[in-house]
Amino acid sequence: MPQTLEIKAISGHAGTVPGHGASRDYDVCKLIDVTTCIGCKACEVACLEWNGYSFTETVFDNSYQTMPETAWNYWNLIRFNEHENSDGSISLLMRKDQCMHCADPGCLRACPADGAIVQYANGIVDFHQENCIGCQYCVTGCPFDIPKFNPSTKKVFKCTLCSDRVSNGLEPACIKACPTGCLHFGSKDDMKELAEQRAAQLREQTSHKDAGVYDPAGVGGTHVIYVLHDIKNPEMYGGLPANPRVPFLVKLWKGPVKLLGGWAMFLGVVGVAIHYLRFGPKDAGHTTGPEDKNERTKS
Amino acid sequence: MSPTRRDFLRVSTVSGIATTVLGFDLTPAYAQAQALKISRTTETRSTCPYCSVSCGVIIYTIGDKAKNVTPQVVHVEGDPDHPINRGTLCPKGSSLMQDILNDRRLLKPQVRRPASDHWEDISWDQAIDEIAHWTKKSRDDGFVEKDSQGRTVNRCESIAWTGGCTDTNEFNYLVVKTMRSLGVCYLENQARV
């Protein structure tokens, strides 16, 4: 039974990924239509059930939200937000928060451990905990604050987009459970089209004139896209960044600085070799200098 | 000029070191995704017992029903072929596995006697006997043969029956037949299966 997925990118890995681009895999995508979410949390439970995590104690924070943030064993959280509209009315906004599976994943860029984070050819960004060294650079690299550290095992966990199910031709557990049909799964092209259709419908038939599709270009697009009532103000959905980017320091450190460091090391070795050829070995046992001086003072 | 043994050793050692140091990558282009935990399990169709919607679920148990295996539930998921929910489930339905594998699940009949503050375990035989006894007594005590205008009604107004949501059509047919034969008028169930 094929349970393998072709890899597109590997964290902390020197050189190219062999065989990449050979197959015709399509990008998979989750579509979350926040306008039809009723906040039932079936996706939260389905996620826990599939991934085998036990229920943890919830935190009451004067809202229906299960806990303030996603956790290392709680990858999928519906965020409840009370937003005050310009006319003084209140909107109760719900957003399914989980890994966005960026096309340009900041976590993978930041990760120094070979093979701890891989990006499959179908767009899924997956953590392989057996290669994780627990440095938490991925936490810094993620613009959505998704990877979560488990202090007892010193490994980082996050949503896998059910890579085990997808590689076997199934849809993710959360998608299957959703009773209102606000979650959809399919190829990126199909989901994008469906999302645009829904956004156009909202603009034409409802008062949400700014409805749109959230597929941020700053991280190269994501494999989890949203239909929002108001695409101009994604922050009101519990801190969805308007223009997420891989942090500048991560880009600098993993880009030019890494390259320069590599060259500096290489040129250093070359320099030492040239020095050796030009001036020969350092004569540690040579003691004639001081002796000469002594002789000179004597005379 | 054919290479000498010494040349061969020299070249292989240098190239070996070079590939090790400079990198020669044979990392597979494919990664093993986590094994699918339901791939070889037995699938059993069932109905969610919670509300009257009566969603179809699939219960996944380990093993292939071989004689020496005691099946254990490993996962419960919506039934995509079920016309009511087409694979979807609510949060309660999604957690059905914990309804099945639960220390607090009732596995035998219990009774709370009048004025008692606790439930006591009783055997199935005792339960059936007691149900028969109290049904008879309630019916005899509250049976209405004629209404206030003298019309024959033969009603048993002292008993009501409520059915659960997993009751099938066939089961409910038997319930109606049994209860009507007792004269029970207050009949209801929430089944939609």
Give me the CATH number covering residue A87: 3.30.70.20
- Would you say residue A160 lies in a domain? yes
Instruction: Give the residue, A38 or B165, on which the prediction is more confident.
Output: A38
Eight-state DSSP code of residue A294? H
How many domains are there within chain A?
Answer: 2
CATH H superfamily, domain B42-100: ADC-like domains (2.20.25.90)
pLDDT at B23: 56
The whole-number pLDDT of residue B78 equals: 96
The answer to whether the Cβ–Cβ distance between B88 and A7 falls below 8 Å is no
With CA atoms as reference, report the closest residue to A134 among A122, A119, A117.
A117
- Classify residue A199 by burial, with Cβ atoms within 10 Å: 0-12, 13-18, 19+: buried
Q: Which two tokens stand for residue A90?
A: 């209140």
> Do residue A63 and residue A94 come from a single domain?
yes
Q: How far apart are CA A227 and CA A95, in angstroms?
A: 10
Distance from CA of B184 to the nearest CA of A (A): 37
Pure H helices in chain A: 42-51, 106-110, 137-141, 163-166, 173-177, 188-205, 248-252, 258-279, 288-298
Residues A190 and A116 in one domain: yes
**Which residues belong to CATH 2.20.25.90 in chain B?**
42-100
Query: What are the backbone dihedrals phi and psi of residue A254, each rounded to the nearest 5 degrees, phi first?
Result: -85, -10
Strand-pairing partners, residue B58, are B45, B77
- The alpha-helical segments, DSSP class H, found in chain B are 5-22, 91-94, 96-100, 124-142, 169-182
What confidence score (pLDDT) does residue B20 get? Answer: 61
Local mean pLDDT, 10-residue blocks, chain A (299 residues) = 72 74 78 95 95 85 89 94 90 94 94 92 92 94 94 95 91 95 94 96 93 94 94 91 90 89 95 92 67 52
pTM value is 0.80
pLDDT digits (tens, 9 = 90+) for B83-119: 999 999 999 999 999 989 999 988 899 999 999 999 9
> What is the model's pLDDT at position A267?
96
Look-up of token digits 């991934």: A51
pLDDT for the residue numbered A23: 63
Q: Do A33 and A48 fall into the same domain?
A: yes
Does any CB of chain B come closer than 8 Å to the CB of residue A165? yes
pLDDT at A191 (0 to 100)? 95
Query: Is the same domain home to A182 and A69?
Result: yes
User: How far is the C-alpha of B83 from the C-alpha of A248, rounded, in Å?
Assistant: 51
- Whether A2 is covered by a domain: the verdict is no
Weakest-pLDDT range from A43-57, B21-35, B41-55, B80-94: B21-35
Of A3, A10, A15, which is closest to B32 when you measure between CB atoms? A3
- Asked if residues B56 and B47 have their Cβ atoms less than 8 Å apart, the reply is yes
Q: What does A201-216 look like in DSSP terms, one character per residue? A: HHHHHSS-TT-EEE--
Identity at B106, one-letter amino acid code: L
User: Quick one: pLDDT at residue B21?
Assistant: 62
Tell me: pLDDT of B28 over 60.
no
- Whether pLDDT at B124 is above 60: yes
Query: Are residues A265 and A119 part of one domain?
Result: no
pLDDT value at position A295?
52
B23 to chain A, any CB pair closer than 8 A? The answer is: yes
Q: Find all residues with CB under 8 Å of A123, minimum gap 6, and list them.
A: A8, A27, A28, A29, A101, A103, A188, A223
Q: Can you tell me the mean pLDDT for B39-46?
A: 92
CB-CB under 8 Å, A177 with B34: no
Q: Which of A117, A131, A167 would best serve as a mutation to test chain B binding (most B beta carbons within 10 A)? A: A167
Q: How many whole angstroms separate alpha carbon A192 and alpha carbon B167?
A: 43
A179 CB within 8 Å of a chain B CB: yes
* Cα separation, A225 vs A212, whole angstroms: 11
Identify the domain containing residue A44 by its residue range. 7-245
The verdict on A265 and A123 lying in the same domain is no
First vs last C-alpha separation in chain A:
91
Q: Which residues contact A176 (CB under 8 A, 6 or more apart)?
A: A46, A170, B77, B78, B80, B87, B88
Spatial separation of the C-alpha atoms in residues A250 and A11, rounded to whole Å: 13
Percentage of chain B with pLDDT > 90? 59
Closest CA to A83 of A74, A72, A95: A95
Distance CA A126, CA A111 (A): 12
User: What tokens does A266 get?
Assistant: 């290489």
* A81/B182 Cα distance (integer angstroms): 55
Weakest mean pLDDT among A28-32, B14-18, B128-132, B156-160:
B14-18
Question: Do residues A91 and A195 share a domain?
Answer: yes
Contacts with B88 from chain A: Cβ below 8 Å: 42, 176-179, 181
Q: Which residues contact A180 (CB under 8 A, 6 or more apart)?
A: A36, A37, A38, A40
Q: How many Å apart are CA A90 and CA B185, to the nearest integer? A: 48
Inter-chain CB pairs, A–B, below 8 Å: 100
Within 10 Å of residue B114's Cβ, how many Cβ atoms? Answer: 4
Q: Which two tokens stand for residue B107?
A: 């596995």
Angstrom distance (rounded) from CA A180 to CA A117: 33
Domain match, A152 and A293 both = no
Shared-domain flag, residues A216 and A172 = yes
Burial of A272 (0-12, 13-18, 19+ CB in 10 A): exposed
Rounded Cα distance between B50 and B165, Å, is 7
Place of tokens 């002594």: A294
Lowest mean pLDDT among A36-40, A198-202, B1-5, B135-139: B1-5
Give the residue, A255 or B31, on which the prediction is more confident.
A255
Q: Residue A277 domain-assigned?
A: yes
The answer on A76 and A43 residing in a single domain is yes
Lowest mean pLDDT among A53-67, B4-18, B121-135, B173-187: B4-18
Nearest Cα to Cα of residue A182 among A2, A67, A43, A82: A43
| Rounded Cα–Cα distance for residues A125 and A123 (Å) | 6
Mean pLDDT for all residues in chain B: 87
Interface pTM (ipTM) of the complex?
0.80
**Whole-number Å distance between alpha carbons of A129 and B186:** 59
CB contact under 8 A, A17 and B95: no
**B76 contacts on A by Cβ (under 8 Å):** 49
